[in-house]
Amino acid sequence: MTRIWSVDPLNPDPAVIADAAAVLRTGGLVAFPTETVYGLGANALDEAAVQGIFAAKGRPATNPVIVHVADPEQVSRVAADWPEVAAKLAAAFWPGPLTLVLPKRPDVPAVVTAGGPTVAVRCPNHAVARALIRAADVPVAAPSANRSTELSPTRADHVAKSLNGRIDAILDGGPCPGGIESTVVDVTAGVRILRPGLISAPMLEAVVGPLTEGASEAGIAKSPGQMAKHYSPRTPVVLTDGEPGDVSGRVYRWKLGSDPLQAAADLYATLHELDDGRFDRIVIELPPDTPEWAGVRDRLRRAAAAG
Ligand code: TXA
Ligand code: MG
């Protein structure tokens, strides 16, 4: 049985938060809203609890999870080092949709980091998420609250559709405003984007100067959804460059609006809605290849990847 608790997204009831925090503290799984997508939380320092996340999601053990903290001061509970660039980026973008990959502390269970030497950390900008983490008083491991490879959830009913019966509770705090997952940035050697998101490359560069390009030398666990197929609806997605394309059957043609933040906010919710069996294909016109669109383009490509 999965309990569903409704909370005010801006001012959640402390009694409900306390109940949800108790579930986390005793090794349970709680889905909660963040400013990007819903996360599936467990105590990051409890190995068995984090294993529960992987089981509920059907997530491959090779894909590490992000640890969420209520305040930047909590980072030291999971990270062994706090480089100057990390401090600058956190000062500029936390709380917010930016995940920093840092050297991990030895007591962070290997399951969190897929056995790697680094841990991904972010401080979400959502009152429910922060109240929950504060009340639990532990760092909270939380991948997106969906079965592995499926669409990410931006509403509580998306979570329920995917994970009902597999997790202990869902905090329903309404729709997530951001709509796509955080930008993941490796700060262990230079500053390198591992997964584009709402914080764009120019926004990062304005704070830390030119970014480090190319794949990382470490070659371990640098896989932010880097499995090509990820974030996918069941209905096949076809991307076009404006050409009408040669597609037959019941086709939904979609051109995103001109505002990248609005497009991100609506992306998964629209795909969830279109993915109900009405269409044989969803044909989407790719937005321009500019830094502001990088996060949305990345998710569209993954949604369209076969197998
Ligand atoms: O916005 C978000 O980031 C959402 C909300 C819930 O916070 N979370 C999220 O988690 O998208 P998830 O697990 O679906 O994606 C986390 C990504 C994964 O693709 C993973 O490969 C990458 O972050 N990641 C996690 N730990 C890492 C590490 N130590 N090194 C490199 N990449 C890491
Ligand atoms: Mg995910």
pLDDT-based confidence at 215, cuts 50/70/90?
low
Q: Which ligand lies nearest to the CA atom of residue 123 in the structure?
A: 1
> Does residue 59 have its Cβ closer than 6 Å to ligand 1?
no
Which pLDDT belongs to residue 221?
41
Residue 172, domain member (yes or no)? yes
Can you give the pLDDT at residue 305? Answer: 86
Extract the tokens encoding 34: 């963040």
231 is in an annotated binding site: yes
Q: What angle do CA 122, 25, 170 make, to 5 degrees?
A: 70
Same domain, 207 and 257: no
Q: What is the mean pLDDT of residues 216-238?
A: 64
pLDDT at 307: 56
pLDDT at 220: 40
What distance in Å separates the CA atoms of residue 124 and residue 134, rounded to the nearest whole number? 12
Q: Mind listing the pLDDT tens digit for each residue in 10-42?
A: 999 999 999 999 999 999 999 999 999 999 999
CATH number of the domain at 40, please.
3.90.870.10
In a domain, 222, yes or no: no
Q: What is the pLDDT of residue 295?
A: 97
Residue 102 lies inside a defined structural domain of this protein: yes
* pLDDT for position 261: 97
Query: Where residue 229 falls among pLDDT bands split at 50, 70, 90?
Result: low
Going by pLDDT thresholds of 50, 70 and 90, the confidence category of residue 241 is confident
Task: Kindly state whether residues 49 and 182 are assigned to the same domain.
Answer: yes
Residue 246 alpha carbon to ligand 2 centre in Å: 31
The ligand minimizing its distance to the Cα of 117 is 1
- Residue 245: per-residue pLDDT: 66
* pLDDT score recorded for residue 20: 98
Tokens standing for residue 244: 């009408």
- Asked if the structure places residue 267 within a domain, the reply is yes
Residue 206, marked binder: no
Please check whether residues 166 and 282 belong to one and the same domain.
no
Q: Indicate whether 221 belongs to any domain.
A: no
Does residue 225 register a pLDDT over 70? Answer: no
Same domain, 59 and 204: yes
Q: What's the mean pLDDT in 100-121?
A: 97
User: Known binder of ligand: residue 122?
Assistant: yes
Share of the chain above pLDDT 70, in %: 93
| 113 and 169 both lie in a single domain | yes
Number of domains comprising the chain: 2
pLDDT at 213: 85
Q: Please work out whether the CB of residue 183 comes within 6 Å of at least one atom of ligand 1.
A: no
Distance 25 CA to ligand 2 centre (A): 23
In a domain, 230, yes or no: no
Domain check: are 18 and 159 in the same one?
A: yes
State the pLDDT at residue 218.
47
pLDDT at 242: 73
Q: What is the pLDDT of residue 244?
A: 63
Q: Is 204 in the pocket of ligand 1 (CB under 6 A)?
A: no
Among the bound ligands, name the one nearest to the CA of residue 151. Answer: 2
| Segments forming the whole domain that contains residue 166 | 3-213
For ligand 1, whether the C-beta of 37 sits within 6 Å is yes
Indicate whether 51 and 154 sit together in one domain. yes
> Is the CB–ligand 1 distance for residue 180 below 6 Å?
no
- Atom of ligand 1 at shortest distance to CA of 68? 7
Ligand-binding annotation for 281, yes or no, is: no
More confident residue, 232 or 25: 25
**Confidence at residue 219, expressed as pLDDT on a 0 to 100 scale:** 41
Atom of ligand 1 nearest to the CA of 222: 31
Q: Check whether 63 has a pLDDT greater than 90.
A: yes
* Residue 182 is assigned to a ligand binding site: yes
Whether 209 and 244 map to the same domain: the answer is: no
Structure confidence by residue, pLDDT tens digits, 140-191: 999 999 999 899 999 999 999 999 999 999 999 999 999 999 999 999 999 9
Q: Is 143 in the pocket of ligand 1 (CB under 6 A)?
A: yes
Q: Are residues 168 and 119 in the same domain?
A: yes
- Would 199 be classed as within a structural domain? yes
| pTM confidence score | 0.95
Question: Can you tell me the distance from the alpha carbon of 71 to that of 95, in angstroms, rounded to the nearest whole number?
Answer: 8
Closest ligand 1 atom, CA of 181?
1
Closest listed ligand to the CA of 180? 1
**244 in the same domain as 176:** no
pLDDT of residue 181: 97
Q: Mean pLDDT over residues 100-112, rounded?
A: 98
53 lines ligand 1 (CB under 6 A): no
User: How high does pLDDT run on average in the chain?
Assistant: 93
Would you say the CB of residue 78 lies under 6 angstroms from ligand 1? no
